Amino acid sequence: MIRNISLIIFLVLMFGCKKEAALQAENADDNTLTVKDNPSDPVDHAIYQFYQSTGIPCFYNDTISRKEVGTVNGVPRYFYKRLTVNWSPALGVDTFTQFRIPLNKADLLPMLSLIKNELLPLIPDNIPIHSILFADTVFMYPTIWVPDRPAKTEMNAFSGFNTLVLRIINPDTLTAESKKHYLNDVLKEICVR
């Protein structure tokens, strides 16, 4: 009996292992945390120049790529790659954070020089910034409602999983004290992660 079982296993292994084509990666993960140049758009071109000089990609939308994965009844279906904002190593899966995408992307142009000239020199080289997402507003809601606490707190920055969300300000209109307060808030958020 054992001889028959051994013979069956041997035959299955011999004829079951025929030549197969080498595996090909179908869904190779592209590095979507990159910025491509668009010389016809001044905002996109400025972001590209910032990316070339610092290596930090900046975005004004949390959806950073779209890939067609098939069709259903002639209607194309897409896979969207988004920045992961609502997850933080410090706070866990749901950070109760809400942000609003900029209505006017040109508002972020003064922010690029503020980040490059005043914020990045303060950050040590061993702390990576994977990407920056600009937002009009950034709010955090409390996990537990407390009567004397506000329902939501406006923030200047929030550190997500693969992005740093920054509230858009105009640094030219800020006082030196307000600018220092803003930069301190951003540095605190970077240190939290």
Tell me what pLDDT residue 79 has. 87
What's the mean pLDDT when you consider all of the chain?
84
Tell me what pLDDT residue 146 has. 64
Average pLDDT over residues 31-56: 91
Tell me what pLDDT residue 16 has. 66
The 3-state secondary structure of the chain reads: CHHHHHHHHHHHHHHHCCCCCCCCCCCCCCCCCCCCCCCCCHHHHHHHHHHHHHCCCEECCCEEEEEEEEEECCEEEEEEEECCCCCECCCECCCCEEEECCCCHHHHHHHHHHHHHHHHHHCCCCCCCCCEEEECEEEECCCCCCCCCCCCEECCEEECCCCEEEECCCHHHCCHHHHHHHHHHHHHHHHHC
pLDDT, tens digit (0-9, with 9 covering 90-100), for 47-64: 999 999 999 999 999 888
Structure tokens that stand for 51 in this block: 């990316």
Tell me what pLDDT residue 133 has. 93
Residue 102 neighbours by CB distance under 10 Å: 19
Average pLDDT over residues 77-91: 78
